[in-house]
Amino acid sequence: MSQPQTMTSDQKLAVGVTILDKGGEAYASIDEASGFTVTFESSNTTVLGVVVRPDGLNADLSSDDIGTSTLTITATRPDGTHLIGSPDMTEITVKNAAPGAINVTFGAPEPE
């Protein structure tokens, strides 16, 4: 499990995976790693949105609401088995951003 992450509701977070060949060289994109798949999944999409980049190895996380979500990243071989270190799970907490404005509300008028 990776280190927990914290972000505010006005931030985004990039996350990436590196797949190495047997010689220790990194693949530039998921297309080069023929038959391998990488998935990025948020356990609570109302808190944490996930958009995978075109290379298939990186994603952008958006802070959609206040709360906690678990991000699970899974790398799978063509035969369906997982690569070493996969799946990896990280808890991500989204907190309020710094105050930026106030809203004032009044109740309905009532007799005294």
Give CA torsion, residues 55, 82, 45, 63, to 10 deg.
Answer: -60
Q: Decide: residue 68, CB within 10 A, 0-12 exposed, 13-18 middle, 19+ buried.
A: middle
CATH code of the domain occupying 5-95? 2.60.40.1080
**pLDDT, greater one: 36 or 44:** 44
Predicted confidence (pLDDT) per residue in 41-94, tens digit = 999 999 999 999 998 889 999 997 899 999 999 988 888 888 777 788 888 999
For residue 13, what is the enclosing H or E element? strand 12-16
Give the domain ranges of the chain: 5-95
pTM of this structure: 0.78
Omega cis (within 30) before 99? no
